[in-house]
Amino acid sequence: MGAGHDHSGAVTNAAHRHRGRLWAAFALLAALMVVEAVAAFTTGSLALLSDAGHMFTDVLGIGMALAAITATRRAGTDPQRTFGLYRLEVLAALANAVLLGAVAIYVLVEAVRRFGEPPEVLAGPMLVVAVLGLLANIVAFALLRAGSKESINLRGAYLEVLGDLLGSLGVIAAALVIAVTDWWWADPLVAVGIGLFILPRTWRLGRAALRILVQAAPEHLQVTAVHDRLAAVPGVAEVHDLHVWTLTSGMEVASAHLTTDPGVDPGVVLAAARAALHEDFSIDHATLQVEPGASAGVCGQTEW
Report the range of poorest mean pLDDT among 171-180, 273-282, 290-299. Answer: 290-299
Reported as a single tens digit per residue, the pLDDT across 179-236 is 999 888 888 888 888 788 778 878 888 898 899 999 999 988 999 999 999 999 999 9
Mean pLDDT of 53-59: 78
Reported as a single tens digit per residue, the pLDDT across 248-286 is 777 889 999 999 998 889 999 999 999 999 999 989 889
pLDDT computed for residue 254 by the predictor: 95
Q: Which residue has the higher pLDDT, 174 or 166?
A: 174
Q: Which residue has the higher pLDDT, 120 or 256?
A: 256
Q: C-alpha dihedral over 136, 142, 146, 149, to 10 degrees?
A: 70
pLDDT at 45 over 80: yes
Residues 133 and 171 sit within 8 Å (Cβ to Cβ): yes
Q: What proportion of the chain, given as a percentage, has pLDDT over 70?
A: 81
Handedness of CA 61, 147, 50, 131 (dihedral sign): positive
pLDDT computed for residue 276 by the predictor: 95
Reported as a single tens digit per residue, the pLDDT across 134-147 is 998 888 888 877 66
d(CA 161, CA 109) in angstroms, rounded, equals 23
Q: What is the distance of C-alpha 126 from the center of its chain?
A: 32
- Give the pLDDT band (50/70/90) at residue 77: low
pLDDT computed for residue 119 by the predictor: 77
- Give the pLDDT band (50/70/90) at residue 8: very low
d(CA 13, CA 224) in angstroms, rounded, equals 28
pLDDT at 57 over 60: yes
Q: Which residue has the higher pLDDT, 300 or 163?
A: 163
pTM: 0.71
pLDDT computed for residue 9 by the predictor: 40
pLDDT at 112 over 70: yes
Residue in 101, 19, 102 with CA at minimum distance from that of residue 62: 19
pLDDT at 69 over 90: no
Residue 255: beta bridge partners? 243, 287
Q: Which residue has the higher pLDDT, 178 or 298?
A: 178
pLDDT at 7 over 50: no
SS3 readout for the chain: CEECCCCCCCCCCHHHHCHHHHHHHHHHHHHHHHHHHHHHHHHCCHHHHHHHHHHHHHHHHHHHHHHHHHHHHHHCCCCCCCCCCCHHHHHHHHHHHHHHHHHHHHHHHHHHHHHHCCCCCCHHHHHHHHHHHHHHHHHHHHHHCCHHHCCHHHHHHHHHHHHHHHHHHHHHHHHHHHHHHCCCCHHHHHHHHHHHHHHHHHHHHHHHHHHHHCCCCCCCCCHHHHHHHHHCCCCEEEEEEEEEEEEECCEEEEEEEEEECCCCCHHHHHHHHHHHHHHHHCCCEEEEEEEEHHHHHHCCCCCC
Q: Which domains does the chain have, with CATH numbers?
A: 6-213 (1.20.1510.10), 223-298 (3.30.70.1350)
Region at 2 (left for phi over 0; alpha for psi -120 to 50; beta for the rest): beta
Q: Between the CA of residue 26 and those of 29, 65, 155, 299, what are the distances in Å?
A: 5, 10, 15, 51
- Give the pLDDT band (50/70/90) at residue 1: low
Cβ neighbours, 10 Å, residue 221: 18
Rounded to 10°, the helix 46-75/87-116 angle is 170
Residues 35 and 129 sit within 8 Å (Cβ to Cβ): yes
Reported as a single tens digit per residue, the pLDDT across 202-212 is 888 889 889 99
Q: What proportion of the chain, given as a percentage, has pLDDT over 90?
A: 26
pLDDT computed for residue 230 by the predictor: 95
Start-to-end CA distance of the chain, whole Å, equals 22
- Give the pLDDT band (50/70/90) at residue 49: confident
Mean pLDDT of 74-90: 69
